[in-house]
Amino acid sequence: MKKRYYFIIILVILIPILIVTYLIKDSNQKPAIKIKDNEIITSVPNCSEPTIKIDKIRNIKLLDNVEIGNKQVGYKEDKCYAGYFDTQFGTCFIYINPNIHSYIYFETKDDNCLINYENEEKTKELYGIMNNK
């Protein structure tokens, strides 16, 4: 009976420790964009990883200035906005570093989207890849 009691106590203590450890590890990761197999995969700490199929993109534009309004749902930190935000194009799925002033706007069947990469040069390279699908 004592062994069972100790086992339950260990589980009650161990499970929360494992959950907290996972959340701390995940929150220390940097936001990132990956391009793989004709897809753009956005990765934000403690969030899902939306995937955008490059061949489903239409009406693509490279912009230098965009008005970002209120966050509807998502993540908003100094170096990363991710989620659904109000913009000059209406509500958009965005994944941007607000300190980089080069943006790619595009539409998919389901969403208007706005993204940028880690710097203006890489954003322009990504635009080239997306535009030459």
Each residue's pLDDT expressed in tens, for the chain with a length of 133 residues: 677 777 887 778 888 887 777 666 554 556 677 778 888 887 766 566 678 888 888 899 999 989 999 988 888 888 888 888 999 999 998 888 888 889 999 998 888 999 888 789 989 988 888 887 6
Domains contained in the chain, number: 2
Residue 128 structure tokens: 């080239």
pLDDT at 88: 93
pLDDT at 89: 92
In terms of domains, do 22 and 63 share one? Answer: no
Strand partners, 32: 43
pLDDT at 48: 61
Range of the domain at 13: 1-30
pLDDT at 106: 93
> 51 by DSSP, 3-state: which?
strand
User: Which helix (H) or strand (E) is 90 found in, with range?
Assistant: strand 90-96
In terms of domains, do 8 and 62 share one? Answer: no
In terms of domains, do 12 and 56 share one? Answer: no
In terms of domains, do 108 and 72 share one? Answer: yes
In terms of domains, do 18 and 38 share one? Answer: no
Closest CA to 82 of 119, 122, 120, 41: 41
Is the whole-model pTM more than 0.75? no
- Cα dist from 33 to 3, 13, 41, 129, whole Å: 48, 36, 6, 13
In terms of domains, do 3 and 56 share one? Answer: no
